[in-house]
Amino acid sequence: MRRPLCCLPILLLPALAGCAAYQIGNQSLYPAHIETVYVPMIESAGFRRNLGERLTEAVMKEIELRTPYKVTGDPRADSVLQCRLVSDRKRVSVPGRTGDPTQLQVTMQVEVSWTDRRGTALRQLDPVPLPPEIATVTGHANLVPEVGQSVATAQQEAIESLARQIVGMLENPW
């Protein structure tokens, strides 16, 4: 006994309903109600020049590269990603026999706040002992002067690491 083709949609409906909540692609990693992100210039509490500007540029590039969001210069965007460079340190990690450093470590620490246009926190971070709208991110890079590496290249490596971590925070929690 053969069923008529008119019953086919009725039979497929339960199967299709089970897949309705799934999303495909990188859009499923990010809040769907956000389309634009405003990233104001990152303030730096340190004395080294241009670190805030370099970090702002790296974060904006990383957002455009990895997320479905569009970075905009309009403060009335769907969301605002504010960062503040609270510390940047350079310390000797491997001293040489003569007292000159053989290897140094560059460390930068950034406070991050991601809010929607009404000021509501978009990401809750429970394990961090700060207000829920602020998280601290740290980036490290090693500097080995003997092989021709400079402080600027080590700083750039730390900045790129920070940018990846900051943009990673924009993802929905699993």
Q: pLDDT truncated to tens, each residue of the chain (174 aa)?
A: 555 555 555 555 555 555 444 555 555 788 888 999 999 999 988 777 889 999 999 999 999 999 999 999 999 999 999 999 888 887 776 767 776 666 777 888 888 999 998 888 887 544 333 344 445 666 767 666 666 667 788 888 888 989 998 999 888 876
pLDDT score for 15: 52
Count of domains forming the chain: 1
Which residue has 């509490």 as its token pair? 45
Tell me, yes or no, whether 77 lies in a domain.
yes
Tell me, yes or no, whether 3 lies in a domain.
no
Domain that holds residue 47: 24-168
Tell me, yes or no, whether 154 lies in a domain.
yes
Tell me, yes or no, whether 5 lies in a domain.
no
pLDDT score for 9: 53
pLDDT score for 118: 87
Tell me, yes or no, whether 6 lies in a domain.
no
What global pTM score does this model have?
Answer: 0.72
Tell me, yes or no, whether 66 lies in a domain.
yes
CA distance 92 to 94: 6
CA atoms within 13 A on the CB side of 124: 2
Tell me, yes or no, whether 15 lies in a domain.
no
CB 33 within 8 A of CB 78: yes
Tell me, yes or no, whether 1 lies in a domain.
no
Report the CATH number at residue 70: 3.40.50.10610
